[in-house]
Structure 1
Amino acid sequence: MVSEEEIARFVAEHFLDDDDEDVDAEEDLLARGAMDSLGVLHVAAWLEKRYAITLPDDELTIRNLHSVRTIRETAERAAARAGEP
């Protein structure tokens, strides 16, 4: 199971000036200026390393990875698809 708390810690440590800052799960990180398209790729690489989840290319969109919640949902969707026969 992908943890929103762990995603929030990763985002705070890598994209925010103050890594102790709370990150709301619904906050649009792109609108905030915390992440950009390169950040989306960084998150995808971290998901693969941390959770062994590979996001398909069509899932690597700002829409799917703009908040802690959408990152979790996208990762869980990809993990569920990977487990399908």
Structure 2
Amino acid sequence: MIKIVLIIGQQSEQLPLLEIVEKYEKARLDAGLTQLEVAEKLGVAQAQYARWENGGRNPKDETVEKLAEIFGTSFEILKGRDDGLEEIVSLLN
């Protein structure tokens, strides 16, 4: 018998900026999109999106929410606060 214990309400540490921006690129590539395609979906210039992906600028939380929707992932994962709960729930279903 496998026992799974979930601790709700405990936030994991936020990742350093470099690891967060790597998540943007990975999520974009996993979604099969180019920087230009993502920029068009967001209504921003490709150069602006590239700055976010390369760590030159940080997008606002509302933009990260839109990115999560575009990439088919969660806001928490893109912000580097993934505690693994989504994966556990999907495995249980």
Smaller-chain TM-score range? Answer: 0.3 to 0.5
Query: Which structure's CA Rg is the greater one?
Result: 2
Q: What is the TM-score normalised by the length of structure 1? A: 0.38
Q: What is the TM-score normalised by the length of structure 2? A: 0.36
